[in-house]
Amino acid sequence: MSRAFVKEDSGERWTPPSAPAQYRIVLPTDHGPEVLRETDDLLLALQRLQAGLEVRDRQGILIARG
């Protein structure tokens, strides 16, 4: 197998990065936001929203706050 298709550290096949999700459930911290979950389903993101968390879109615009 060519080394061009193998990750250097783990010896696994290369896989293309996944497309970014539309919505993120974010925990705001002093060191910046921490993404807890990503999804393309806004209703699912709103259902999983808890106190202290935020739902933001791909560009980081605030949609809802728990």
How would you write the pLDDT of the chain (66 residues) with one tens digit per residue? Answer: 555 655 566 667 778 888 889 999 999 999 988 999 999 999 999 999 999 999 999 999 999 999
- The length of the chain is 66
Q: In this structure, are residues 45 and 10 in contact, taking their beta carbons and an 8 Å threshold?
A: no
Distance CA 64, CA 66 (A): 7
Q: In this structure, are residues 54 and 23 in contact, taking their beta carbons and an 8 Å threshold?
A: no
